[in-house]
Amino acid sequence: MQDYQSQKPIVLDILASHRTMPGNLLPILHGIQDTLGYIPPAAVEDIAKDLSLSKAEVHGVISFYHYFRTTPPGKHTIRICRAESCQAMNSKALEQHAKQTLGIDFHQTTTDEQFSLEAVYCLGNCGCSPSITIDDQVHGRVTPEKFDRLVASCKGNKS
């Protein structure tokens, strides 16, 4: 895990640029996660101080929302839709397959730090269930074979 001292200036910058925005806590948290990939637990104190909130309040907000994470993600984040429409098109088998081939459960990251696996409840792509996202790309009608191809192409991509 990275040392917070190197991340602190980024957090302070984000805080400064949101100072006059009404209801700024979520935008700040998004800003931090977009930049660092997660919200470092050590940032909570800086956020709380800046917004005149208690640390417990800030922590309470972070933990309420499924999207925010407090540990670094793998290089690629795979989200599998678990909602009804995808279930109707056999997402359960896809889930099983994904967990097995990646060797991890939801909310975990592979040991080579390539992939994090998250559950998601509907991607609005229910017309082409089952659906997953890899980073910001949505993929529809995902079979286990298509899943393997997508994962393989991530590995091939050096970026």
Partner 1 sequence: MTRVFVSRDSTALSLGAEQVAQSLQQLADTKGLDIEIVRNGSRGMFWLEPLVEVETSTGRVAYGPVQPEDLATLVEAGFLDGKQHVLSLGNIEEHPFFKYQNRLTFARVGLTDPVNLEDYLAHDGYRGLKNALALQPVDIVKHVTDSGLRGRGGAAFPTGIKWNTVMNAPAEQKYIVCNADEGDSGTFSDRMIMEGDPFVLIEGMTIAGLAVGATQGYIYLRIEYPHAKIALNQAIEAAYQHGYLGENIQGSGKTFHLEVRSGAGAYICGEETSLLESLEGKRGLVRFKPPLPAIVGLFGKPTIVNNVISLASIPVILDKGGEYYRDYGMGRSRGTLPLQLAGNIKHSGLFEAAFGMTLREILYDYGGGSASGRPIRAVQVGGPLGAYLHEGQFDTPLDYEAFAAIACVLGHGGIVVHDDTVNMSEMARYAMEFCVEESCGKCTPCRIGSTRGVEVIDRIVGNEQKQKNTELLRDLCDTMLCGSLCAMGGMTPYPVLSALNHFPEDFGLPTAKA
Instruction: Point out which residues bind ligand FES (CB under 6 A).
Output: 81, 83-86, 122-126, 129, 131
H/E run at residue 29: helix 25-36
Buried b (16+ CB within 10 A) or exposed e, 60-74: ebbeeeeebbeeebb
- Count of H-run helices and E-run strands, the chain: 7, 5
Number of C-beta neighbours around residue 129 at 10 A:
22
Q: Which of 8, 41, 68, 108 binds partner 1 (CB under 8 A)?
A: 68
Q: Residue 151's binding partner, choosing from ligand FES, partner 1, none, with beta-carbon cut-off 5 to 8 A by kind?
A: none
Q: Which positions from 6 to 35 touch partner 1 by CB under 8 A, shown as an x/- string?
A: ----------------xxxxxx-xx-----
Q: Which of residues 73-92 bind partner 1 (CB under 8 A)?
A: 83-89
CA distance 33 to 38: 4
- Interaction site with partner 1 (CB under 8 A): 22-27, 29-30, 51, 60-61, 64-68, 83-89, 120-129, 131, 133, 136-141
